[in-house]
Amino acid sequence: MKIGTCSILESIDPIASYEAAISERSDNAEPNTSKRAKRSVAVHTTFWKPGRTLKIAMYDEDQKTIDKVKSIASKWIENANLKFEFVSGAVGDIRIKIMPSKTGTSISQLGTDALLHPPEEPTMTIGLALEHAEFEATILHEFGHVLGLHHEHQHPDANIPWDLEKVYVWYKEEFNLERARVDSDVLPLPRRKNYTYGDYDPLSIMHYDIDSRLTINNWSHPRGYTLSRKDLEVVSKIYPHGTPYIPHSLIELLNKIKAPFTGSSN
């Protein structure tokens, strides 16, 4: 996958994003506790509740395509407490459109931000055809975003020697991306005090290939095409087994039943 062919759709309402995330999983609001396992680069506030089944709609795709995407995406959760249910139609927590384009650009919401996206729109678009040689790697990469993972090349410890002016010019010419989008999807993220960072993983599927034309001294790095060992370790820690999923609606019902006996008003 050519560098830069993935964009993360960020929520336009940070408050709504936060509220949706903590409603889904309360510890999304606790980014720096001993309970939070170290991971690579991920946004704490968009992880799904462990034990959750995500319904993944694929519109009018045929069963062959649905089965192919399911087979690829399910590699992420072989050792994680999360399930995927793939269906045809347009109703799902995650909604995928395969829309091949000249640039091959793919787009995805980050984790629980998908809950805020208009239901009539896809939460992920794949810019490559099923037959494309890099289709599998693209699906793996985009489903990393579905699980709440950010780009690994943006890890504060990556130390990639970007030639910034070349990067900005290239992205503008190739993809018509403005500087703000390059900053958010390509260049290093600031180190934040309330984040717990695992080691930088250059083998991660969430890492772009780095073109020598965009760096100082022709530095380059090839992208990975499979999930790295650390990718799988990270997801298994974010979604640990032994944690049952209790729907928010059931929690509210139990609180109402409990209220007369506890004096709770919730």
**pLDDT at residue 19, as a whole number:** 87
Which position has the higher pLDDT, 264 or 192? 192
**pLDDT by residue (tens digit) across 148-201?**
999 999 999 999 999 999 999 998 988 888 999 899 889 998 887 666 677 899
CATH homologous superfamily for 40-251?
Collagenase (Catalytic Domain) (3.40.390.10)
Alpha helices in the chain (DSSP H): 14-24, 63-73, 135-146, 164-175, 179-185, 229-238, 248-262
**pLDDT at residue 147, as a whole number:** 96
**pLDDT at residue 15, as a whole number:** 85
* C-alpha R_g of the chain: 19
Contact 130, 66 (CB under 8 A): no
**pLDDT at residue 255, as a whole number:** 45
User: Rounded distance, CA 80 to CA 45, Å?
Assistant: 18
What sign has the CA pseudo-torsion 10, 15, 16, 21? Answer: positive
Query: Residue 252: is its pLDDT beyond 70?
Result: no
Picking from 93, 115, 54, 59, the residue whose alpha carbon sits closest to that of residue 239 is 54
What sign has the CA pseudo-torsion 14, 236, 201, 55? Answer: negative
Average pLDDT across the chain, whole number: 85
**pLDDT at residue 244, as a whole number:** 62
**pLDDT by residue (tens digit) across 170-182?**
989 888 889 998 9
**pLDDT by residue (tens digit) across 28-46?**
876 554 444 444 455 457 9
Sheet of 94-98, strands arranged across: 6-9, 106-109, 124-126, 94-98, 53-57, 83-87
Domain ranges (residues) in the chain? 40-251
